Structure 1
Amino acid sequence: MNIFGLLSLLMFVISVTAFLIMRGPDGDIYLTIIVLSTLSVIGVLFAVLSKQLLWKVLGIVVNLIPLLFAFLLLFAMGISEP
């Protein structure tokens, strides 16, 4: 078992769970963006620290999904504000 690879996947699960908890009409979008991007960056760092190639690739790819989603949310919020 590779502990850093598992921690990387755990960061992905936590970021998806945090997004599902913080969504809604009263949700703070900027807090969601900060949480998603922070957890994704930590997950990518754990994936890079992993020793096996499978965990590295899987961790980086899986953690880039919420990071890309957070970037798109930030981009959308920037367009919508005057």
Structure 2
Amino acid sequence: MNKFGLLSLLTFGISVTAFFLMRGPDGDVYLGIIVFSVLSVIGLLFAALSKQLLWTILGIGVNLIPLIFAFLLLLAMGISEP
């Protein structure tokens, strides 16, 4: 078991949990974008620090999902504002 690989997957789990906690009509979108982005970057750093190829590929693949989601959310918020 690799410590940094597991921490990388843990950041993805925290991102998914944060998504379910912050959703709804009263959810702050910009706070969600910041949380997803920061957790994804931290997860990518942990994945890069893990020395085993499996954990690196899995960590990068999994942590790119919330980062792309945050980018698309930021793009949608920018388009919707005048």
Class of the TM-score when normalised by the shorter of the 2 chains: over 0.9
Q: Deviation of residue 65 (structure 1)?
A: 0.1
The number of equivalent residue pairs is 82
| Structure 2: runs of 5 or more not aligned | none
| Counterpart in the other structure of 1:66 | 66
| Counterpart in the other structure of 1:5 | 5
TM-score between the two structures when normalised by the length of structure 1: 0.99
| Counterpart in the other structure of 1:43 | 43
Structure 1: which 4+ aligned runs deviate by more than 2 Å?
Answer: none
Q: Deviation of residue 43 (structure 1)?
A: 0.2
For the residue of structure 2 that corresponds to 1:27, the secondary structure is: coil
For 1:39-60, what per-residue CA distance to the aligned partner results, in whole angstroms no more than 9, with x for missing partners? 0000000000001000000000
TM-score between the two structures when normalised by the length of structure 2: 0.99
Q: Percent sequence identity over matched residues?
A: 80
| Counterpart in the other structure of 1:21 | 21
Quote the Cα distance in structure 2 between the aligned partners of 1:48 and 1:5. Answer: 9
Quote the Cα distance in structure 1 between the aligned partners of 2:35 and 2:24. Answer: 16
| Structure 1: runs of 5 or more not aligned | none
Letter in 2 for 1:59: G
| Counterpart in the other structure of 1:54 | 54
Quote the Cα distance in structure 2 between the aligned partners of 1:35 and 1:75. Answer: 16
